Amino acid sequence: MVRKSFKWYAGGFWLPHIHLNRTYRDHLFRFLFKDKRDLLELYNALNGSDYRDPNALEIVTLEDVIFLKMKNDLSFIIGDRLNLYEHQSTKNPNMPLRGFLYFARQYEGLVAAGKRSLYGNAMVPLPTPKYVVFYNGTEELEDETTLYLSDAFSEGRGSGCLECRCMLLNINRGHNRGLLEKCRRLEEYSEFVSRIYDALSKGMSLKRAIETAMDSCIEEGILKDVLIRQKTEVMHMLLTEFDEKKYKRSVYQDGYEDGVREGEISGFSKGEAAGLRKGQAQGREDALRDLARKKASQGKDVAIIAAELETDVETVERLLKEEC
């Protein structure tokens, strides 16, 4: 069942809010920044602006865009800018493509809802898009990295007539200190997640690591308001979030591929190296097949499964048809 409502914003458009009766779980990042006051503070910290009224910010997140069963994005308009903020624990080269498709959906809804003609003489004004991904994974990255949609084009960056830039910001402890100092909620989130990683590195179980990080943060006033009132909910979110990270690593383990690069398998014959590569590829394929079948058993469409597993429709269809 789809329910549509429309919100007016300063640029003079109606923008659709699409609500789907679908079960999903938020990423902790999205959960923390659903409050307009915190989201406005984050926007001001990023842009050097000084907006004071949270109501100047209009949340327009597309609620039916879900990756890996969890919502990790926030989209909002302030002034004449359409912002997409997303959290990721891995650097994914397809981020610009995801952003491009997301903005296209927003613009399509905007034009349709405003009954604007694309064939008339008047230009259809659009809010300026801004795409930011907040990264806090374990891979060491620079404070700021820009990813380009055109890097995926056959002719390389700058070719073709389209572009979408994604600003990837490392918010791990010790990175982007100026930004974190300007946004208390983001700084607390960064420290909380860093403490979970610290505990995991000591050999703790995931549940114990989260509990340890929670207790120390509450004691020191870090995310205390959230961790005290909604401790169980935060625990469930993080258990699900880290479980999905583990699933993605099992399917897309680049380390396997790195380990069998030509010349790196010392003492292996070509036949042995080829056999190892084949076995590892088969393992990844089996894991992907299991995931695809699980999602299909939940009634998900093939296209949705492909998007969630970050593969193509043809691969999913093949995996679902194969015998165990």
Nearest to 58 by CA among 85, 87, 31, 79: 79
When pLDDT is cut at 50, 70 and 90, the band that residue 147 belongs to is very high
Helix (H) or strand (E) holding 168: strand 165-170
Chain-centroid distance of CA 221 in Å reads 27
Read off the DSSP letter of residue 12. Answer: S
Q: Name the least confident of 4-8, 50-54, 289-293.
A: 4-8
User: pTM of the entire structure?
Assistant: 0.69
pLDDT digits (tens, 9 = 90+) for 228-255: 999 999 998 898 877 655 544 544 444 4
Model confidence at 92: pLDDT above 90 = no
First to last CA, the chain: 35
Query: pLDDT-derived band of residue 284, with 50, 70 and 90 as boundaries?
Result: low
Is 52's pLDDT higher than 60? yes
Q: Give the domain ranges of the chain.
A: 2-192, 253-324
pLDDT for 306 equals 72
Q: What is the mean pLDDT of residues 74-100?
A: 91
Residue 77: pLDDT over 50: yes
Q: What's the pLDDT tens digit per position in 269-283? A: 445 445 544 554 566
Q: Could you give the C-alpha distances from 45 to 48, 179, 184, 185, 254, in angstroms and in order?
A: 6, 6, 10, 11, 34
Residue 307 pLDDT grade (very low, low, confident, very high; cuts 50, 70, 90): low
pLDDT band at 1 (very low <50, low <70, confident <90, very high): very low
Of the candidate ranges 17-26, 33-42, 124-133, 226-235, the one whose mean pLDDT is the lowest: 17-26
* Averaged pLDDT of the chain: 79
What does the pLDDT look like over 197-213, one tens digit per residue? 999 989 988 899 999 99
pLDDT at residue 24 greater than cutoff 60: no
